[in-house]
Amino acid sequence: MKTYARLLCLLFLAACQSAGEDLVKAFVDHFEVDGRTIQSGKLANSIDPASLEITVVFSSPVNLSKMNGDKLYLNGYDGKLSIVAGPTEESVVVKPESPLEHFRRYSLVLEKGANLGVRLIDEYSLNIVTSYDPSDKFPRIPDEELLTLVQRQTFKYFWDYAHPVSGLARERLGSGETVTSGGSGFGIMCLPVAVERGFVSRAEAAERLRTITGFLKNKAVRYHGAFPHWLNGTSGATIPFSANDNGGDLIETAFLIQGLLAAAGYFDRPEEAGIREDIDAIWRDVEWDWYTRGGQDVLYWHWSPDKGWAMNMQINGWNEGLITYVLAASSPTHPVKASVYHNGWARVGGMRNGRKFYDITLPLGSDLGGPMFFAHYSFLGLDPRGLKDQYADYWEQNVAHARINHAYCAANPKHHAGYSATCWGLTASDISGGYTASSPTNDRGTIAPTAALASMPYTPAESLDAMRSFYYTYGDRLWSDYGFRDAFCLDAAWFAGSYIAIDQGPIVVMIENYRSGLLWDCFMKHPDVTSGLAVLGFE
């Protein structure tokens, strides 16, 4: 298609010449930077600001003695440009005479009209983003200190920024009354970490948890025991997630219950009995079997009192939903049969993959693994170490997923700025201008720190490398009040201003599972969970 378009342009120019034009009409065929061929309007990223050199290749020979400097310039640069003959008679080489600034956008522009002895038929440009300053932004400290610092600062999102009435986690920075059920489950799991690491006292954490469980038990609306995705943090009323998603959200409920059961395993002292009683009451009230939609062999994600099953979303594997089936089978009051798991979630083995990516075998799920939160959300409490059933070894699954995600970013097939073996991680996050579930098959050039940091148990060396990179190299823009900001895209010279509960929570929890296995131990010792795993055939 490009060859055909170029042929049409050449035929057009030839026709103009034969018509007696005084200047040959021409176009910019392409730009060359750092060995890369780049078309007009596209981006050259990761450019060394001290050594930018751009070769502009035209469709026809050009004449430097007829250059109009007012029509060839570098937007964003105040210095002089050196413009010399290129390696062919159809090219020139453009260099700034003084260094550019790190991590800044520039644009080389060639305006339409007469220049260099030809007449350009259109305006042409090359967008440029210079590389990030690689120097350390903070003093180096031992890795153990850095791990603790990251956990402490990230925990502040759930402690300092919690809703003042309910104690639940706000959906994101600036969400006001909107609290999140699933993200609150992740935040609850941060409380034992905070106590063990000395961020808050046990008494303070227990009191916060009493506030949360009291609100969930007595004030928050529920739908056959399941919580909505979003609630009002003062009234407990549902805040619709979408037009039809205004009732129970079973996966978000599972994330919340996972956190509560882990907290019950930690806060086990006599004076904390009231907390455990509230948690048990909330747990027993969830009607997991209702969400089989009348006894089908599958769980449904949503139900609404006025929209019914309008969302019509089955929970099928492989994704973040494994914990939903584990809890549904574990329920002492409203359990589901094992066939719901095997037929609905596992699809009788249909969730298997078994192919190799970057020479790494992926047992389950979509090619290249999907977004990293698949390996995080269900496994904040559910311990994948040695966890097996007839479909997979779940430790092997999560390690493979993380290694593939890392290998993809290190290979960087789309040439995104910043991607490397020490700066990696694709998952659901904010992106410039929106939100998406990034993955190797949906790569928007955006790194989310939670992807690599919450993979710490699976890829400790690679995740530690990423943590150092995020903190020391990018920390002047990425590190702030509540830890690492949600995401960044160096192609767009963009850093998120946001924090999101479901991204911050896994950082604290999974770093702790790497360090001590604390949350895995707290959740897995619950007798109902032990029974449920046995029902489903897990070893």
The helix (run of H) or strand (run of E) holding residue 24 is: strand 24-26
**228/346 same-domain check:** yes
332 and 299 within one domain: yes
Give the pLDDT of the chain (539 residues) as one tens digit per residue: 445 445 455 444 444 444 435 899 999 999 999 999 999 999 999 999 999 999 999 999 999 999 999 999 999 999 999 999 999 999 999 999 999 999 999 999 999 999 999 999 999 999 999 999 999 999 999 999 999 999 999 999 999 999 999 999 999 999 999 999 999 999 999 999 999 999 999 999 999 999 999 999 999 999 999 999 999 999 999 999 999 999 999 999 999 999 999 999 999 999 999 999 999 999 999 999 999 999 999 999 999 999 999 999 999 999 999 999 999 999 999 999 999 999 999 999 999 999 999 999 999 999 999 999 999 999 999 999 999 999 999 999 999 999 999 999 999 999 999 999 999 999 999 999 999 999 999 999 999 999 999 999 999 999 999 999 999 999 999 999 999 999 999 999 999 999 999 999 999 999 999 999 999 999 999 999 999 999 999 99
Kindly state whether residue 10 falls inside one of the protein's structural domains. no
On whether residue 318 sits in a domain, the answer given is: yes
Query: Which among 80, 105, 130 is the end of a domain?
Result: 130
* Domain end point (choices 80, 100, 130): 130
What is residue 380's predicted lDDT score, i.e. its pLDDT?
99
CA–CA distance, 123 with 120 (Å, rounded to integer)? 7
Asked if 369 and 440 count as a contact pair (C-beta separation under 8 A), the reply is yes
Q: What is the DSSP letter of 388?
A: B
Same domain, 114 and 201: no
CATH of the domain at 469: 1.50.10.140
Q: Which pLDDT score is estimated for 9?
A: 52
Up-side HSE of residue 352: CA atoms within 13 Å toward CB? 10
2 assigned to some structural domain: no
Cβ-defined contacts of 423-426 (< 8 Å, 24+): 423/447, 423/466, 423/469, 423/470, 423/473, 423/474, 424/451, 424/452, 424/462, 424/466, 425/372, 425/449, 425/450, 425/451, 425/452, 425/453, 425/455, 425/466, 426/371, 426/372, 426/451
Per the omega criterion (within 30 degrees of 0), is the bond before 230 cis? no
- Do the beta carbons of residue 506 and residue 377 sit within 8 Å? yes
CA distance 125 to 109: 4
- Of 516, 452, 462, 523, nearest to 189 by C-alpha is 523
User: How many structural domains compose the chain?
Assistant: 2
The reply to whether 265 falls in a domain is yes
What is the identity of the amino acid at 343? N
Q: 257 with 358, same domain?
A: yes
- What distance in Å separates the CA atoms of residue 26 and residue 536, rounded to the nearest whole number? 70
Which CATH number goes with the domain that contains 74?
A: 2.60.40.1220
Contact at 8 Å (CB) between 200 and 194? yes
Q: Are residues 362 and 222 in the same domain?
A: yes
Q: Which element (helix H / strand E) includes 193? A: helix 181-196
pLDDT, residue 19, reads 41
Beta carbons of 335 and 299 less than 8 angstroms apart: no
Tell me, letter by letter, the H, E, C secondary structure of 244-313: CCCCEEHHHHHHHHHHHHHHHHHCCCHHHHHHHHHHHHHHHHCCHHHHHCCCCCCCECEEECCCECCCCC
**Backbone angles phi and psi of 10, in degrees to 5:** -65, -40
Whole-number CA gyration radius for the chain: 28
Q: Which of 104, 130, 156 is the last residue of a domain?
A: 130
**Residue 137 domain flag:** no
Whether residue 301 sits in one domain with residue 161: yes
With respect to residue 1, please indicate whether it lies within any of the assigned structural domains.
no
Q: What is the DSSP string of 99-166?
A: ---SS-EEEEEE-SEEETTEEESS-EEEEEEEPPP-S-SS----HHHHHHHHHHHHHHHHHTSS-TTT
Secondary structure element (H or E) that encloses residue 33, with its range = strand 28-33
Residue 104 lies in a domain: yes
Instruction: State whether 165 and 83 are in the same domain.
Output: no
Residue 105 and residue 168 in one domain: no
Same domain, 181 and 67: no
pLDDT at 21: 53
My answer on whether 507 and 431 are in the same domain is: yes
Pairwise CA distance, residues 422 & 420, whole Å: 5
Phi, psi at 281, each rounded to 5° = -65, -45
Give the pLDDT confidence score for residue 22 in this predicted structure.
83
Q: Which is nearest to 120 in space by CA: 26, 23, 22?
A: 26
The domain in which residue 32 lies consists of 20-130
Task: Note whether 383 and 520 are within 8 A (CB).
Answer: yes
Q: What is the pLDDT of residue 16?
A: 44
Q: Residue 339: inside a domain, yes or no?
A: yes
Is 482 found in the same domain as 348? Answer: yes
- In this structure, are 108 and 167 located in the same domain? no
**8 A C-beta contact, residue 302 and residue 250:** yes
Residues paired with 357 in a beta bridge? 360
